[in-house]
Structure 1
Amino acid sequence: MVVDGVRGVVQGAAPVPLSVLDLVTVGAGSTASDALRTSVGMARLAEARGFHRYWVAEHHSMPGVASSSPAVILAHLAAHTERIRLGSGGVMLPNHAPLVIAEQFGTLEALAPGRIDLGLGRAPGTDGATAAALRRSDTLREGADDFPEQLAELIRFLDDDFPDGHPYARIHAIPGPVQGSAAGGVQSPHRPPVWLLGSSGFSARLAATLGLPFAFAHHFSAQNTIPALDLYRESFRPSAVLDEPYALIGVSALAADDERDAARQVRAAALSMLRLRTGRPGLFPDPADAEKHRFNAAEEDFVRSWSANVVHGTADEVRAGLDALHKRTGADELMLTTHSHRGEQRLRSYELIADAYGLPTA
């Protein structure tokens, strides 16, 4: 058996399926409404050009990232698309009760049958104080011991199979399988497949042990990519949902009509990341403002290091970089995330990459 939507059809000259990760970036001078309109345009473009799936990520307390509510955004995108798979990359499980996630994604599955992925992470997706506010607790439940327990509970809610005598045996996530077993009920043929996300070996090993697909955050943990993928593949156990390992990697990529424009946008993205890492998150800066910023030596080192992991340049340069990354990692799928000040720049980047690979036009 294979998880719904894991094996994508490779079209054009792409070596593996290409997908999109959207952070719903809010640039200086624009609003969250502008960013969400861009997301709709990007999802439609991704669907029209043959990208395999479109995920949104959960982040909190970051002015330049408007993806704090993945389930709400995915419902909106489902209403504006017809075929492309939609999912979370990811929902941060420790921030939520498993039953809440099961019901949210059961609802999404009912809205877009057979198109929903549930990607899960164990990081908070924010700073410690915000995580405590989300969880209504001073204790951050994000340790290695809690996550597997929460994951197991969530999967049981999705499958509606708590054993007799369990405290939750008579609790049902709705929409969900229990509706198919009720009098007159019709069982849905789908339930959202679970993916594990990670940036280290922990989730790689857990995904392998459970026989689940694995998504690795190469875009911010490039030094750990090969070790994590090796661990996942070596430890993988076939399961009822997946016969063999399947790993995608998230890749920061930006294509522009000329190399200089791409470099300007990447430098602005690096400044945005620098501000986030130093506790000063803000709206995504205009490249012109980033050019005026005076970086000290340590900041310049950070910018060089961060930019080195962004595949950027002209369309042909980005294609060459993605092909080289695929060859180096053996990833089964590349999920591209693009950071830029304006929405039209992100749309143009995906258009150029689709053209470079000869992806179909609809």
Structure 2
Amino acid sequence: MAPTSPAGTAPFALSVLDNAHTGVGQTAAEAFGEIIALARLAERRGYRRFWMSEHHAMPGASTSSPQLMLARLTGETERIRLGAGGVMLPNHAPLVIAEQFGMLEALAPGRIDLGLGRAPGTDPATAAALRRGADANDGFPDQVDELLGFLSDDFPEGHPYRHVHAAPGPWQAEQNRVARPGIPQAWVLGSSPYSAQLAAHLGRPYAFALQFGDADVDTAMRIYRERFRPSEQLQEPYTLLSVPAVAHDDPGEARRQARSAAMAMLRMFKREPYAVLPPEEVEAYPATAQEEQVLDVYTERFTNGTAADVAAALERLHDRTQVDELMLVVMGHSRRTQARTLELLADHYGLPDA
């Protein structure tokens, strides 16, 4: 195992992604309460940002609309950046997203991130129910351009939406004769070279999701850095890598929680509902040899162990990718373990305890 940096010497910023995992035996209301507590903890322990993701029709995930939960979190936190990681833009009208995130920016000025992805965040039938067409991904770059135009209120003359304005936003401030507000920081999310090229072309920060499988992060990061074009919003490339992680004082318990998350993935592959089962049920499951292999692969992919184990894995990823920021994707059935993950990594790296 590679040596880990001593406490207080993290070579990267640390952030948090919460998929609103709602384990079997837990209500959505209980999960939301734990999410609020986790966001407060992340702020207190010096994490840079707290993001939430968009998923639909999954019993194991309760944020069909991360922006609604973010609205609550603006009143529960004071300093930490809050964001969607991300909004699956082909599921939405760009104007509506610009309006919603303009409201969030008004509630928490200078603290809002808008991560943009193109995956459906669900299964094909649910995607159809969202009125998402089979060719939805094809128009993603144009949708992003349209959304950025609404956020900045800078469509050129002759554009069909030149006189359509998102409010709150710059146009509303101009009409009301007040200072121009800031706008949410837009990110491009992805797990392929395609998203890297788009982020580079737009001159936007780039977040790569490593939790989705054997994605080619090395090629994506190289393309993004080589092709990056400075913009008014960002002069130099900025990269973030999201990594599923479970840390615990007992490495055996960390592995049990990671395996619960792995079982949810196996269920999804089998076209069963994505549900996060308690570790005891996972251990009692009579897996076939092929299923056992899938469980083993994902248990290892979901970085788990003591704080030193997880930190060593994070640092190997950083050495390989040289990203500016690592985002912990909290995993497992136990919300208490997710909170413990943040505490242990913060302690390991000597992050402040406010």
* TM-score class, shorter: over 0.9
Q: Secondary structure at the match of 2:130?
A: helix
2:169 is aligned to 176
CA contact (8 A) 1:128 1:140 kept: no
Distance 1:12 1:21 in 2: 22
Counterpart residue number, 1:127: 123
Give the one of 122, 136, 143 matched to 1:150. Answer: 143
Are the aligned partners of 1:248 and 1:332 in contact in 2 as well (CA < 8 Å)?
yes
Q: Is the 8 A contact 2:66 2:87 kept in 1?
A: yes
Superposed structure 1 runs of 4+ greater than 6 Å apart: none
Query: Which residue identity is paired with 1:200?
Result: S
* Cα displacement (A) at 1:162: 1.7
Which digits, 9 at most, give the CA deviation of each residue in 1:78-119, with x for residues without a partner? 110000000010000000000000000000000000000000
Query: Is residue 271–residue 285 contact of structure 1 (8 Å, CA) maintained in 2?
Result: yes
Amino acid at match of 1:268: S
Assess, with a 3 A threshold, how the Cα gap between structure 1 residues 328 and 303 changes in structure 2: closer, same or farther. same
Q: 1:262 aligns with which of 248, 254, 268?
A: 254
For residue 272 of structure 1, report the CA deviation from its aligned partner.
1.0
Q: Is the 8 A contact 1:124 1:142 kept in 2?
A: no
Any gaps of 5 or more consecutive residues in structure 1? 1-10
Deviation at 1:77, TM superposition (A): 0.9
The farther-off stretch of 306-315 and 352-361 is 306-315
Determine the structure 1 residue equivalent to 2:56: 60
> Which amino acid is 1:60 matched to?
H
After TM superposition, list the pairs within 5 Å mapping 1:274-293 onto structure 2.
274-293=266-285
CA shift for structure 1 position 184: 2.6
Alpha-carbon distance in structure 1 between the residues aligned to 2:137 and 2:76: 37
For the pair 1:191 / 2:187, whether they are aligned, the reply is: no
Aligned residues: 348
Tell me: CA distance 1:179–1:223, structure 2 relative to 1, closer, same or farther (3 Å): closer
Q: Quick one: which of 96, 102, 108 aligns to 2:92?
A: 96
Picking from 335, 340, 347, the partner of 1:343 is 335
Deviations 1:12-63 (A, max 9, x none): 3211100000001101111001111111011000000000000000000100
1:153-187 Cα distance to aligned partner (Å, 9 max, x none): 11110011122332211111000000222153331
Contact 1:179/1:186 (<8 A) preserved: no
2:293 aligned residue: 301
How do 1:1-362 and structure 2 match up within 5 A?
12-135=8-131, 139-144=133-138, 146-188=139-181, 190-362=182-354
Give the match's secondary structure for 2:312. Answer: helix
Change (3 A) 1:12 1:142: farther
Deviation per residue, 1:97-146 (Å, 9 max, x gap): 000000000000000000000000011111111111112x5x234333x0
Distance 2:43 2:184 in 1: 19
Measure, in 2, the Cα distance between the counterparts of 1:118 and 1:191.
10
Residue 44 of structure 1 aligns to a residue whose secondary structure is helix
**Structure 2 runs not aligned, ≥5 long:** 1-6
Q: Give the alignment's TM-score, normalised by structure 2.
A: 0.95
AA matched with 1:262: A
Provide the rounded CA distance (Å) in 1 between the counterparts of 2:123 and 2:130: 11
Partners of 1:204 and 1:231 within 8 A in 2 = yes
* 1:7 alignment partner in structure 2: none
Letter in 2 for 1:253: A
Letter in 2 for 1:208: A
Q: Deviations over 1:293-340 (max 9, x none)?
A: 111111111112222222210111111111111111111100001111
Partner Cα separation in structure 1 for residue 300 and residue 26 of structure 2: 28
Does 44-53 or 162-171 show the bigger shift?
162-171
Shift in Å at residue 280 of structure 1? 0.7
How far apart in 1 are the matches of 2:40 and 2:329? 16
Shift in Å at residue 193 of structure 1? 1.1
Structure 2 CA distance, aligned partners of 1:264 and 1:299?
A: 16
CA distance in 2, matches of 1:357, 1:311: 17
SS in 1 for 2:96: helix
Cα distance, 1:210 vs structure 2: 1.2
Matched-pair identity in %: 53
1:315 partner letter: A
**Contact persistence 1:13–1:359 (CA under 8 A):** no
Aligned-residue RMSD, C-alpha: 1.3
SS at match of 2:342: helix
Between the aligned partners of 1:39 and 1:336, the Cα distance in structure 2 is 14
